[in-house]
Amino acid sequence: MRHSDITAPYHGIASHPYLAAITIAPTDAGRFLRMAKDQPEVVILGVDQSTPDAWVLYAGCASREGRDLLESNW
């Protein structure tokens, strides 16, 4: 399956055009969602829970640098 097939339902919005795909343990997802809620440069677009041990959070980011930081630090 191609990356574009996986991320097709998720896309950035005009104010947050950069898509970050973050694989995270379900136990850490709440912490990430609380962090993102307080950050205006991040918008949660969706959560793929199809794998029980590793969820994929999709976030729209206002900048490429913000996306890179999220993907490298989470």
Q: pTM of this prediction?
A: 0.78
Kindly state the greatest CA–CA separation across the chain: 34
Per-residue pLDDT 10s for the chain (74 aa) are 344 444 446 666 788 999 999 999 999 999 998 988 888 999 999 999 999 999 999 999 999 999 999 889 88
Q: What are phi and psi of 54, to 5 degrees?
A: -150, 100
The pLDDT, as a whole number, for residue 13 is: 79
Q: Please, is 57 exposed, middle or buried when counting C-beta atoms within 10 Å of its C-beta (0-12, 13-18, 19+)?
A: buried
Report yes or no: 18 and 63 within 8 Å, Cβ to Cβ.
Answer: yes
CB atoms within 10 A of CB 1: 5
The pLDDT, as a whole number, for residue 9 is: 60
Report yes or no: 7 and 19 within 8 Å, Cβ to Cβ.
Answer: yes
